A = this chain, B = another copy of it.
């Protein structure tokens, strides 16, 4: 750490922590990120960040807030394909002109910047590549979750994934982490109805494994949940 460097605005903390966990960043990488702040953008909850099929433009780096890739059916059914958390990239791998493969919406208020270009071989480039690999692992996991787990198991598996991902961004403390989703959004993530999400949450509370209050989750016994869904930390 060079103490003479201008620090990032604190908005960057989570994203920097996350990217640094993926690959060590050089001073130049830090500088590139700091420069991106000039183009910071803010999206209110429910705003569309990218539209499916529309030109995707520059890759984006989320600084704060939660976003989600979404597929909406013409009859109103909706499935969240994956969540985008601070430190995550949107569309990092595709080339300039490619259309966005899915739409992305802000779930809570989201702050983001254009992801600075990373020259091959830099730490930033390695972090981007690692992020892409993790993202596809998350997609595989989401498929297995929806295809083969019960509601209770889906929730357990999802909570464990969120804990791991938020911890990598320095946003979890121990077994607690923020959870700003409404039960309806959670239902659309896990392929269930909000009514059933509610019942399943109650059931976890009754089992004493979950404490969810005022937007914060506390897992009493993550190992128990992990055993339930034979969860393997990567």
Interface status of A69 (Cβ within 8 A of chain B): yes
A73 touches B136 (CB 8 A): no
Q: Which bracket fits the contact residues of A?
A: 20 to 34
Interface status of A142 (Cβ within 8 A of chain B): yes
The answer to whether A81 and B230 touch (CB under 8 A), given A133-B101, A146-B146, A148-B191, is no
Partner of A140, one of B81, B137, B146: B81
B73 touches A140 (CB 8 A): no
Partner of A101, one of B81, B129, B140: B140
B146 touches A147 (CB 8 A): yes
A143 touches B146 (CB 8 A): yes
Taking CB atoms, residues of chain B closer than 8 Å to A146 are 143, 146-147, 191
CA distance A190 to B148 in the complex (A): 9
CA distance A94 to B135 in the complex (A): 12
Number of copies: 2
SS class of chain A's interface: helix, strand, loop or mixed? Answer: mixed
Partner of A148, one of B73, B129, B133: B73
Interface status of A11 (Cβ within 8 A of chain B): no
Partner of A139, one of B77, B93, B139: B139
Q: In the complex, what's the smallest C-beta–C-beta distance from A22 to chain B, in angstroms?
A: 13
- Counting chain B CB atoms within 10 Å of each CB, which of A101, A133, A229 scores highest? A101
Taking CB atoms, residues of chain B closer than 8 Å to A50 are none
Closest A-B pairs by Cβ, 4 of them: A147-B191, A146-B146, A79-B147, A71-B144
Extra A-B contacts (11), CB below 8 Å, given A79-B147, A101-B136, A136-B139: A78-B148, A79-B143, A79-B148, A81-B143, A82-B143, A94-B129, A136-B136, A146-B191, A147-B188, A147-B190, A148-B191
